[in-house]
């Protein structure tokens, strides 16, 4: 018989919730939490399902768990060893889209609370902040929850985010922050013409090549302590009409920059503009995500202490990976730590998680909740 966390994970995975759909997951979560004293607040926006579940505690302080019920598309279904929404357990492995990212973690948090409530353990005020817009555009999800809580003065003292943070075993890594993201759509302009008459044209690809080379060679300086260096990748480039004898009149490129707090958006923007100064171009900048970091202190010490007590593991406090919804919570001044399952199969065909991981993560979450104190 599966344990509580595994049973909940199965039920969540079986609800198809490809972003931005929720698939009924948050109604199911409500059915589990309501008997434990939680009240649900709907913050649905723009067709996105957002929920705040709150249980007023017996102890001071408010601890939140943030997560998402939407999952990425399955990819080719025929390549899955088991149907992606069947949630089958084979040899101790739970298979299905969302097993690691991140329905498994949501299940573990609920299971931990259920066990603590069943033991009549005094608890702080607890919140679950759940959206169906994390894997998609992230414009009407967690950010709307944060705005609602700011207006209602109900922001928590700290947040655990259930993103799959770990590498080889549960608890070996937490994310204390993330790099920011700047994306640039660049169009370098020329003049279209016949390739036999280059004197009457201006080849946009020829103009773009040195500018893009300069962009790729930008030195971004030393990264902030604890962060990977800023990286700049030209991920797409296109130009020409497809005809072999037409000089292209424009060349389009897409630039993806992952920056650490040692750089700023204004600095990045200026550097890209300077690299393109000698050619006629249009640059469209999108500051997708702001870099953030939770400093060392009582909250991170608590999380790592719980991991140590449960697993004996010394935890790496990391800032790697892509972006997450933690940026919206951190921007509101809330300490954030990302702790979930391992991430070996996220966004892949045959996503899966070991049932033993869910048991370990549930125990860690339970320990964090029991030892939570109001942050100084």
In degrees and rounded to multiples of 5, residue 301 shows phi and psi of: -60, -40
> Which one is catalytic: 133, 134, 202, 367?
134
How buried is 143 (Cβ within 10 angstroms: 0-12 exposed, 13-18 middle, 19+ buried)? buried
Alpha helices by DSSP H, 119-177: 142-152
- Identify the sign of the CA torsion 325, 168, 19, 132: negative
Residue tagged active-site, from 21, 70, 351, 357: 70
Active site residue 134: yes
Cβ neighbours of residue 285 under 8 Å, at least 6 residues apart?
182, 183, 184, 265, 269, 272
Rounded Cα–Cα distance for residues 31 and 52 (Å): 14
| 111 closest CA partner among 5, 260, 3 | 5
> What is residue 202's DSSP assignment?
B
Annotation says 296 is catalytic? no
Q: How far apart are CA 271 and CA 261, in angstroms?
A: 16
Answer yes or no: are the C-beta atoms of 141 and 19 closer than 8 Å: no
CA distances from 288 to 36, 68, 128, 324 (A): 38, 19, 25, 11
Please name the residue that has the structure tokens 């045959």: 350
Phi, psi of 262 (to 5 degrees): -70, -15
Report the catalytic residues: 70, 134
């Amino acid at each position: 018989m599966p344990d509580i966390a595994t049973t909940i994970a199965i039920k969540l995975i079986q609800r198809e919730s490809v972003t931005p759909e929720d698939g009924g997951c948050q109604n199911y979560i409500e059915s589990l939490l309501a008997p434990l004293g939680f009240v649900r607040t709907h913050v649905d926006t723009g067709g996105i399902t957002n929920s705040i579940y709150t249980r007023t505690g017996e102890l001071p302080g408010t601890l939140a768990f943030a997560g998402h019920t939407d999952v990425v598309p399955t990819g080719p279904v025929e390549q899955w060893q088991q149907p992606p929404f069947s949630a089958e357990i084979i040899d101790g492995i739970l298979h299905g889209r969302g097993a690691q990212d991140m329905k498994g973690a949501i299940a573990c948090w609920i299971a931990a609370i259920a066990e603590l409530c069943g033991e009549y353990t005094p608890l702080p005020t607890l919140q679950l902040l759940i959206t169906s817009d994390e894997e998609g555009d992230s414009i009407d999800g967690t950010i709307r929850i944060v705005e609602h809580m700011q207006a209602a003065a109900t922001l928590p003292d700290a947040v655990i985010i259930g993103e799959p943070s770990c590498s080889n075993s549960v608890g070996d890594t937490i994310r204390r922050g993330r790099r920011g993201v700047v994306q640039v759509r660049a169009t370098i302009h020329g003049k279209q013409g016949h390739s036999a008459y280059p004197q009457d044209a201006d080849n946009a690809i020829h103009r773009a090549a040195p500018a893009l080379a300069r962009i790729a060679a930008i030195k971004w300086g030393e990264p902030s302590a604890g962060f990977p260096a800023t990286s700049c990748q030209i991920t797409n480039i296109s130009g020409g009409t497809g005809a072999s004898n037409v000089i292209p009149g424009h060349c389009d490129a897409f630039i993806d920059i992952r920056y650490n707090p040692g750089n700023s958006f204004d600095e990045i923007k200026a550097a890209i503009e300077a690299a393109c100064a000698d050619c006629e171009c249009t640059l469209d900048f999108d500051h997708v995500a702001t870099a953030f970091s939770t400093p060392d202190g009582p909250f991170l010490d608590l999380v790592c202490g719980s991991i140590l007590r449960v697993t004996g593991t010394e935890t790496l406090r990391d800032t790697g990976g892509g972006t997450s919804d933690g940026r919206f919570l951190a921007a509101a001044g809330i300490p954030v730590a990302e702790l979930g399952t391992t991430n070996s199969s996220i966004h892949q065909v045959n996503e899966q998680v070991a049932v033993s991981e869910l048991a370990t993560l549930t125990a860690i979450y339970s320990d964090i909740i029991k030892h939570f104190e109001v942050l100084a």
